[in-house]
Structure 1
Amino acid sequence: MVRIFSALVLSCVSAISLADTLDDAKASGTLTLAVANEIPYGYLDSDGEAKGEAPTIALHTLDALGIDNVEVLVTEFGSLIPGLKAGRFDVIAAGMYINPKRCEQILFSNPTYTIGEGFLVKTGNPLALHGYEDIKANTELKLGVMAGAVEFGYAKDFGIALDQIITLPDYPSGVAALKTGRVDALAGTVLTMAELGSKSDAVELAQPFEDLVINGEKINGYGGFGFRPGDERLRDAFNTHLAGLIGSPEHVAMVEPYGFGTHTLPGDVTAAQLCTP
């Protein structure tokens, strides 16, 4: 059974220290996930059901662990790590990229996918924006990024001026900013940008798109599940299950409806590697 909770409902919950989240969850059969309502990673559909790559895999994993009463909390992406650390939920199931900065704050499972970047632009791409270099080359342009997402760091590290980077609370706000001209492009993963582009005739995925390269390295994000420090046993239980699931025909069938598949498999890359600066 999956129960959906608004972030506001649990906003007053005090941080609590659990002796062992895995044991407690197995004893009660209950655990709380958090999503950021970002298609196709983790969101609620029109019926209030948890959908997306991360919740689908998480629910499958938790069921295998004997935990079948799963509460799903919706919060802004930028509130995921603070909320996890405050004890408002137990697992981040939002397709969050694993990187050293985040690894300093929370634990991560091994990745379940890898994906590249993309831009959302006005239909017809009137400014011919096909990559981060196009924004950097014209200081009059503004690039929208979601608060708490990796694209802010990507843009800064690429050399785009800080006054060109506009931080927005979520992607619907980003689409609105693009439509009104507050930003000239919205940055995010290619799957998210394609999904947003499919919902409005006013915007589209920028195609073709130049691979993002920083310091000679092509940038691909690797996403996984987030856990509180101290919940190593829960993280390890996820990793054990994921090791037998990721890349299997069952896994591919589970995630293909969301645009993932064999082309987004993470290979042998581990969280330990991604957490290393």
Structure 2
Amino acid sequence: MKKLLLSFVFLLAVVVLAACGGSDEEAGGESGDNGDGESSSDSGSKLEELQESGTVTVGFANEEPYGYQGDDGELKGAAVDIAKAVFAELGVDEMDAQLQDFGQLIPGLNAGQYDLVTAGMAITPDRCENAIFAEPEMVYGEGLVVQAGNPLGIESYEDIANNPDIRVSVMSGATEVGYLEEMGVSDGQVTTAPDIPATFSAVQADRADVTTATEMTLRLAMETSDESQIEFVENFEQPDIEGVPSYGAPAFHPDNTELRDAYNEALQGLKEDGTVAELLEANGFDPESNFVAAGEVTAESVCSGENY
């Protein structure tokens, strides 16, 4: 009887040890560690997931000519066209476009609403703390739109700072908010709006004296605006501050490094074969002055402040 009991105890111990060993292996597999410290649920499998589904989800803001919704409901713009071309190279042909206020794009990205943001978004050190950027696809400067006749003689951010009565409307979350602050414009002079049409409306309705955004954004918006009420400031003086000119690029979730790297690899090929320059030109950009050649300026150098 004792021998039988001992045999049973020994057999039970073997079973328990085997079960424990199996649990460790399964836990290791579920943790996704592929042996080099990276999770298999990281962006390497994310690209495979997108390739399998054939669709990438993209966040964008209504800002022509970077990323915007056309009259036909389709997502358009230079940043959009470049992203479509890159993902086609990666075997992902469909794009699920999600319209969002500019200031909510990175929060939405980090909440898992999008696979990336493609809005010609300027790379900044602050944004680099919350997202990872692909290499720059375009470079651009700033501009001003004022009431017709420019009654207050506004030709620079400095002019705005020197006259505390000037009212400015700016798209929420845009880099121009920080630029104005850095040039000495007080918070009380600035109000924000959800998109560019809303900033134009503020100037037209005399709720603001001036709006600012990138030059290309304002020039294109002027084409569909009542020029009897507002005008583009042709002799605008670009601010001599960090961040100008700006380098635009897609933003990815910080966990999706492999997806971002795959994007960069395909992007480089499209830069070198002339596709990116052609897509910029097709959307109204200068294929030379707005183009960033492969390796000329990197996202890392802008994030670090070297080229910011």
2:235 maps to 1:208: yes
2:154 maps to which residue?
A: 129
Flag the structure with larger Rg. 2
* Offset at residue 247 of structure 1 (A): 5.8
Shift in alpha-carbon separation, 1:144–1:68, aligned structure 2, 3 A: same
1:96 matched to 2:124? The reply is: no
Residues 183 and 252 (structure 1), Cα distance of their counterparts in 2 relative to 1, 3 Å cut? same
Q: TM-score w.r.t. structure 1 length?
A: 0.89
Question: What letter corresponds to residue 244 of structure 1 in structure 2?
Answer: G
Partners of 1:141 and 1:126 lie apart in 2 by: 11
How many pairs were matched up? 259
- 1:119–1:186 contact (8 Å) kept in structure 2: yes
Q: Quick check: 1:109–1:238 contact (8 Å CA) kept in 2?
A: yes
CA contact (8 A) 1:247 1:265 kept: no
Output aligned runs, 1:12-161, within 5 Å. 19=42, 20-161=45-186
Which of the residues 268, 276, 284 maps onto 1:251? 276
User: Aligned partners of 2:91 and 2:179: how far apart in 1?
Assistant: 39
Q: Provide the C-alpha distance between the structure 2 equivalents of 1:212 and 1:183, rounded to a whole number of angstroms.
A: 21
- Given that 2:124 and 2:243 are in contact with CA atoms closer than 8 Å, whether structure 1 keeps it comes out as no
| Structure 1 unmatched ranges of 5 or more | 1-17
Distance in 2 (alpha carbons) for counterparts of 1:23 and 1:40: 30
Asked if structure 2 preserves the Cα contact closer than 8 Å seen for 1:211 and 1:218, the reply is: no
- Give the TM-score normalised by structure 2: 0.80
Residue 289 of structure 2 aligns to a residue in which SS? helix
1:220 pairs, out of 237, 245, 267, with 245
- In terms of fraction of residues, the more helix-rich structure is 2
Q: Distance in 2 between matches of 1:175 and 1:114?
A: 23
How far 1:127 sits from its partner (Å)? 1.8
Unmatched tracts of structure 2, length 5 or more: 1-40
1:226-237 aligned at under 5 Å gives the runs 226-237=251-262
Q: Percent identity?
A: 38
Greater strand content: 1
Could you tell me which residue of structure 2 aligns to residue 266 of structure 1? 292
Q: C-alpha deviations, 1:64-105, integer Å up to 9, x for none?
A: 100112211111111101111111111101110000100000
How far the C-alpha of 1:248 sits from its partner, in A, is: 4.1
